[in-house]
Structure 1
């Protein structure tokens, strides 16, 4: 299963695990094929490609994190009721998939892995709160935080299995793909605060591309 094409894996995963009262269209903007590919790649590198339960648990948590990112961040009085209903629905579905993550790891006795991942998930959520309530004063620092939000769960797998060589060779590619070549509500938020962010992003991408080319971490 884990070696199938990522688009087919995604379709099957959503079909099987989607919330029973939610249409598949709800999931169109979350859990990208890129994310699935890198989870596959990391587990293969770790020597754990057969651990389909761990793979599915990670997909559920990434899906939950992505769904919670969709919650509207700005108040709009003209559509307050509709906004609140949408936000409540997104929270519900995000929590639904988060519960799968904890259930799968607990039932399969992946307790060490669970406690390891919990630390990173906590850090991701804390970084989101920091980004929500901070001013765009130190753009480099906030870009670092956004990278950690998008790549935190992937970094947790790298650290869990000690994939130093993978990190040295591919982390720049992974960050570029998952942050700067994907839709990011956090980058959009930062751009809305500070228009000059675009220039800083281009500089960051150029640096990451250079690191990918030279194999630096």
Structure 2
């Protein structure tokens, strides 16, 4: 009910004919939005605004994520008119989604929330610049990659700490950060399933950190070759390592949930953790089959 409601409200802005025809959009941040909506439902001072706050946050996040899809690397395959139009529309779509949150919050008189989310966007952009700088200089390690990823996913949602009261105010930042870390790890596991998206993945940075000098040079010189990267990922057992990290992070997330001291809220949040539990279960099953 919650997810359907927020998705329906957001689709009013996301399903634009021009955007749908000429470019793709990132995945809707369903998990984090549902997390925000559900916890706000239990805050007396914010419950009445939970739909509006969840909607505008989803639009800002979609704006940021759409801008991340813009490919600034020159490519003959993308240099045609259609490719150029798709790139331009990603920029315009991201701007459009972001602008909607100003309009909706100003209409509702939520001026302070405009300031909080705007400051969060500035901080997220600063984090991105630091991340891209380290990646370009090849000074990033796997742990930092994971940390940056969780920071970028949690940035907007940490803005709502002030809306929480008592115990929730203390636990909200940890809850969001743990949840975001699980989302990053699940995303990285999905990259392994799609071998064409291994470049700039956790696995690559792990190899750059732990691999032999020969393998590190192979990644640097042939990082665009999906077959080579796929072989490297298998050699260094990246899927197993990610599965273990996700299991650990999911356990930590569940421990935070148990500290919420509300059985009702815990029950409502439990479905949001199921994708992480299923992924770790599938990972263990696959690992056992390989051992057998």
| Map of 2:252 onto structure 1 | 211
Question: Is 1:68–2:67 an aligned residue pair?
Answer: yes
| Map of 2:3 onto structure 1 | 6
CA contact (8 A) 1:136 1:190 kept: no
Give runs of aligned pairs for residues 159-178 of structure 1, distance below 5 A.
159-161=162-164, 163-168=169-174, 170-171=175-176, 173-178=178-183
Partner residue of 2:43 out of 34, 46, 58: 46
Partner residue of 1:153 out of 151, 156, 161: 156
Partner residue of 2:147 out of 133, 144, 156: 144
State how far apart, in whole Å, the 1-side matches of 2:78 and 2:21 are: 25
- Deviation of the 1:40 alpha carbon: 0.9
Moved more, 110-119 or 192-201: 192-201
| Map of 1:194 onto structure 2 | 205
- Unpaired runs of 5+ in structure 2? 192-196, 209-237, 260-292
Moved more, 198-207 or 56-65: 198-207
Give runs of aligned pairs for residues 9-24 of structure 1, distance below 5 A.
9-15=6-12, 18-23=15-20
| Map of 1:87 onto structure 2 | 87
State how far apart, in whole Å, the 2-side matches of 1:78 and 1:24 are: 19
- Deviation of the 1:59 alpha carbon: 1.7
Q: What SS does the aligned partner of 1:50 have?
A: helix
State how far apart, in whole Å, the 2-side matches of 1:12 and 1:117 are: 19
Q: What SS does the aligned partner of 1:75 have?
A: coil
Q: What SS does the aligned partner of 1:194 have?
A: helix
State the TM-score, normalized to the length of structure 2: 0.60
Question: Is 1:181–2:186 an aligned residue pair?
Answer: yes
- Deviation of the 1:89 alpha carbon: 0.6
Instruction: Report the number of matched residues.
Output: 213
The alpha-carbon distance between structure 1 residues 177 and 194, as it changes in their structure 2 partners (threshold 3 A), is closer
- Deviation of the 1:108 alpha carbon: 1.8
State how far apart, in whole Å, the 1-side matches of 2:198 and 2:245 are: 13
- Deviation of the 1:147 alpha carbon: 0.7
RMSD of aligned residue pairs (Cα, Å): 3.4
- Deviation of the 1:27 alpha carbon: 6.2
State the TM-score, normalized to the length of structure 1: 0.78
The alpha-carbon distance between structure 1 residues 142 and 73, as it changes in their structure 2 partners (threshold 3 A), is farther
State how far apart, in whole Å, the 1-side matches of 2:28 and 2:6 are: 11
The alpha-carbon distance between structure 1 residues 89 and 145, as it changes in their structure 2 partners (threshold 3 A), is same
